[in-house]
Amino acid sequence: MQLGADAGSLRRRLIAASCALLGSSAARAGQGSFTEQLGRLMEDWKIQSALAYYREDGRIQAIEPVISAVRDLSDGGKLALNFTFDSLSGSSPNGALPSHVAQTFASPSAKSLASARHLYTISPGRLPADPHYSDARVAGGADWTLALSRLTRLNVGGKFSYEDDFYSATVNAGVEQDFNDKNTTVSLGVSSENDFLQPIGGAPAPLSDYSLFQKGGHETKRGQGLLLGLTQVMSRNWLSEVNLSLDRFSGYLNDPYKLVSVIDAAGDPAAYVYENRPGSRTRRSVYLDNRVAWERASVGLALRYMTDTWGIHSDTAQFRLRWWAPGRDQYFEPSVRWYRQSAADFYRPWIAADSAQENYVSADSRLAAFHALTFGLKYGIGLTDRLGGIGRQGAEFNVRLEYYQQTIQNGPVAPAALQGLDLYPSLKAVLLQIGFNY
């Protein structure tokens, strides 16, 4: 009996202890639920984030934070989200030529040169640029890849971009099919883009005299794209990819803030007119990317040839080398990119006042013939073992520095009065980026 009494007492004590233990576990679970949930959420998503600072020599500067999150789904699919914010400020070239005389312009919001809130005067010899340029952009996107079978995937996605004077929405869909023991993947995708432009001060009448302020309301632009891709595993350390793309844009393709100088016989600016570009543009491109890896290094060479109905042909070659330090927790990645393009058929650095008027004309230097070089260096350090208990595979801190230089080819022979002016100034820019992947 004594034993029974002792057994009952022991049972009660055990029940009480179990309840206390459960209660304490529940309390701990309640306290840790947020961090546990956050931890579980972070386990499911791969996060990439970066903050980029871009600065041109004497022109634009921009700050751009970017974040993307990718989650592998249990059915073999994938969900990817990204978000970008840009803040730009500085001086934006307005397309007019430098001159030996001072030139005065009004910012786009002006209704006349007399009522302009922001007039700006360009000193002789300087490139005309609006010093009050400021803009902000918010952009985001989502892509969902759905595994239809072991070898077939369907992906759908969308992007948006919002600025004060520009809204853009793009949707895309595609299918990927694996062959040859998953060594070959063929993909086919289509996209549709719709843009709405509401230029500050209104969209100027094409080729209208700048001083007359003939401006309308909003404009629209549409685009459709087709992309055919082939990815091939060539060997256990060599991957090759080829893409053929075709896209077509139509609608308002002008830059509403770009002017063209009208030069008199003496070479002085007699007037300025707003540019006008064709209302459609079709582009074709071939893109070839090869990547080769070794134990502590990898290289990548990407080549692209692009041509369009505006008469622009471009060639691009980009090479990068990633070299891992012993231990494979730090790497250096130097890169170089070479680019050249021919001028658009309607690119004219200026218009002679006595010449016949052309239907399409633009002095935008982005449509000129030029070549560009980019030199970059990236350094990354793995954080998996440096974050203690919260470290995870793939965690990394990186910093990247790039230098970009664009050299514009000289155009037609300038009138005597323009001699000595830098009519085709080069562009130099630096990009500094800090990134954190988790």
Partner 1 sequence: MARRKCILLCELIALCSLTVGCSSVGVKPWQRELLSRQDMRPAGNGLDEAIDDHMYFSKEASSGGRSFGGGGCGCN
What tokens does 106 get? 């009004």
Burial 358-388 (b: 16+ CB within 10 A, else e): eebbbbbbbbbbbebebebebebebbeeeee
**Site size for partner 1, by CB under 8 A?**
104
Residue 317 contacts partner 1 per CB under 8 A: no
CA pair distance 50, 396, nearest whole angstrom: 11
Judged by beta carbon, residue 103 or residue 433, the one nearer partner 1 is 433
Question: Minimum CB separation from partner 1 for residue 52, in Å?
Answer: 5
191 binds partner 1 (CB under 8 A): yes
Of the ranges 31-39, 98-106, 145-153, 176-184, which one interacts with partner 1 (CB under 8 A)? 176-184
The structure tokens listed for 197 are 């432009």
By beta-carbon proximity to partner 1, the closer residue of 109 and 355 is 109
428 binds partner 1 (CB under 8 A): no
For residues 100-159, which are near partner 1 according to CB under 8 A? Answer: 137, 139-141, 157, 159
> Which residue number, 194 or 417, has a Cβ lying nearer to partner 1?
194
Q: Which residues pair with 103 in a beta bridge?
A: 122
Binding mask 327-346 for partner 1 (x = CB under 8 A): ------------x-x--x--
**Chain residues 25-84 in contact with partner 1, contact rule CB under 8 A:** 48-50, 52, 54, 64, 66, 68, 82, 84
Looking at residues 250 to 289 of the shown chain, list those that interact with partner 1 (rule: CB under 8 A): 253-255, 283, 285-289
Give the range of 30-38, 95-103, 166-174, 413-421 binding partner 1 by CB under 8 A.
166-174
Q: Tell me which of 12, 182, 386, 392 binds partner 1, using CB under 8 A.
A: 182
**Strand 313-324 vs strand 259-263: parallel, antiparallel, or unpaired?**
unpaired
Map the footprint of partner 1 across residues 195-254, applying CB under 8 A: 195, 197, 223, 225, 227, 230-237, 239-245, 247, 253-254
Q: CB 135 → partner 1: shortest distance, Å?
A: 8
Name the minimum Å distance from CB 416 to partner 1: 31
Supply φ then ψ for residue 25, to 5 degrees. -65, -40
Residue closer to partner 1 by CB (options 2, 180) is: 180
Closest to partner 1 by CB, 261 or 406: 406
**Candidate residues 5, 34, 181, 326; the one interacting with partner 1 per rule CB under 8 A:** 181
Smallest distance from partner 1 to CB 188, Å: 12
Output 253 or 383, the one with its CB closest to partner 1: 253
Q: Applying CB under 8 A, which of residues 153, 215, 348, 400 lies at the interface with partner 1?
A: 400
- Indicate whether 293 belongs to the interface with partner 1 (CB under 8 A): yes
Closest contact distance (angstroms) between CB of 45 and partner 1 is: 14
CA atoms within a 13 Å half-sphere pointing along the CA-CB vector of 427: 22
Q: Which CB atom, from 215 or from 418, has the smaller least distance to partner 1?
A: 215
- Closest contact distance (angstroms) between CB of 387 and partner 1 is 18
Nearer CB in complex with partner 1: 330/374: 374
d(CA 165, CA 225): 24
Stretch that binds partner 1, among 102-110, 113-121, 266-274, 314-322 (CB under 8 A): 314-322
Q: How far apart are CA 176 and CA 152, in angstroms?
A: 6
Binds partner 1 by CB under 8 A, chosen from 93, 402, 418, 421: 402
In sequence order, the 6+-apart residues with CB closer than 8 A to the CB of 90 are 56, 59, 60, 61, 131, 133
94 is a site residue for partner 1 (CB under 8 A): no
